[in-house]
């Protein structure tokens, strides 16, 4: 997985070149599906900006502490003001590596979720990074699948932070009802995350799983007749993709993907409750 997550602004950070597109009757293609430089800069800035600022803060803080700069000039006001911030910034990477990161890479997942093979694992057989996140939805698997089946920028959205996706130029609108015409996809079809960017669906098994190349697997499993387990797994290859993930999109990917799982849960449980009321 060389891009983040859950969401439309993940793809925009990969390239300014368009991917293969599907026929989209509800959107114009007058621009030839080419992303402008402004679109690319906007998407990069929204997605990568906060992470890069945090990376720079941690790096400068570590240098300031390791070199002794913040302790060398104790009488200077600026040194006294910056000392707590520098120490905090130097400690943060260690706290993140040993406490925050292990938690968010397996958010909501059980040991069984982590160990079981899922569709799409074969796309990155020897990952440098793997995240498996999950949630239990109190609704039948058929209900949950209907929401998952219609994901896509030009369909039901991704049920995440719509305002943040639109800040990156995604023109996202999260659906609050099931659309029958959005329930099927062909293998190889692009699932759009941005008006001009999409990921190919390498697997589309109704009632079971969707696998998007570059993101990962979205799997639903029945717990019983009234509950469903939703599992999302992403894998990152070694090399530059790993560095890109670690330094750029790992944190925003978690934030958006967690909200996506919660968004699916809220919609499916509300719909199931209305049907039984």
pLDDT band at 139 (very low <50, low <70, confident <90, very high): very high
How many CB atoms lie under 10 A from the CB of residue 243? Answer: 12
Q: For residue 27, what pLDDT is reported?
A: 43
- Please give the average per-residue pLDDT across 73-86, as a whole number: 79
- Whether 174 contacts 157, CB under 8 Å: yes
Q: For residue 152, what pLDDT is reported?
A: 96
Strands 227-236 and 129-137: antiparallel
Closest CA to 90 of 56, 62, 52: 62
Q: For residue 11, what pLDDT is reported?
A: 39
Q: For residue 74, what pLDDT is reported?
A: 66
Res. 73: pLDDT tops 70? no
- Whether 156 contacts 174, CB under 8 Å: yes
Share of the chain above pLDDT 70, in %: 85
Three-class secondary structure of residue 217 per DSSP: strand
State how far the Cα of 133 lies from the Cα of 128, in Å rounded to an integer.
17
Domain spanning 1-277, CATH class: alpha beta
The DSSP code for 249 is I
The 10s digit of each residue's pLDDT in 154-206 is 999 999 999 999 998 889 999 999 999 999 999 999 999 988 889 999 999 99
- Please give the average per-residue pLDDT across 93-102, as a whole number: 96
Closest CA to 204 of 223, 182, 226: 182
State how far the Cα of 106 lies from the Cα of 86, in Å rounded to an integer.
30
- Higher-confidence position of 23 and 191: 191
Angle formed at CA 187 by CA 151 and CA 109, multiple of 5 degrees: 50
Closest CA to 118 of 2, 259, 212: 212
State how far the Cα of 111 lies from the Cα of 265, in Å rounded to an integer.
21
Q: Give the domain ranges of the chain.
A: 1-277
Three-class secondary structure of residue 4 per DSSP: coil
- Whether 51 contacts 178, CB under 8 Å: no
Closest CA to 187 of 171, 170, 205: 205
Distances (CA, A) of 92 to 58, 62, 88, 99, 109: 7, 10, 6, 10, 25
State how far the Cα of 34 lies from the Cα of 197, in Å rounded to an integer.
9
């Amino acid at each position: 997985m060389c891009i983040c997550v859950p969401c439309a602004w993940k793809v925009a950070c990969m390239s300014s070149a368009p991917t293969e597109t599907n026929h989209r009757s509800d959107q114009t293609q007058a621009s030839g599906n080419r992303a402008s430089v402004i679109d690319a800069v906007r998407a990069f800035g929204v997605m990568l900006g906060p992470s890069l600022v945090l990376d720079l803060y941690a790096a400068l803080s570590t240098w300031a502490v390791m070199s002794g700069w913040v302790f060398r000039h104790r009488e200077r006001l600026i040194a006294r003001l910056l000392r707590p911030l520098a120490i905090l910034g130097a400690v943060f990477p260690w706290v993140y590596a040993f406490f925050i990161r292990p938690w968010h890479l397996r958010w909501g997942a059980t040991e069984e979720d982590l160990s079981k093979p899922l569709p799409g694992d074969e796309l990155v057989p020897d990952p440098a990074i793997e995240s498996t996140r999950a949630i239990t939805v109190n609704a039948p698997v058929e209900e949950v699948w209907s929401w998952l089946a219609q994901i896509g920028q030009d369909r039901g959205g991704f049920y995440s932070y719509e305002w943040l996706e639109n800040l990156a130029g995604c023109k996202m609108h999260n659906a609050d009802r099931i659309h029958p015409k959005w329930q099927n996809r062909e293998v190889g079809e692009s699932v759009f995350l941005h008006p001009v960017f999409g990921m190919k669906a390498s697997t589309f098994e109704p009632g079971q799983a969707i696998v998007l190349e570059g993101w990962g697997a979205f799997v639903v499993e029945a717990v019983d007749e009234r509950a469903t387990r939703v599992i999302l797994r992403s894998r990152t290859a070694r090399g530059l993709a790993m560095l890109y993930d670690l330094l750029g999109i790992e944190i925003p990917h978690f934030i958006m993907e967690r909200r996506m799982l919660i968004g699916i849960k809220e919609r499916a449980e509300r719909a199931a409750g209305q049907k039984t009321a």
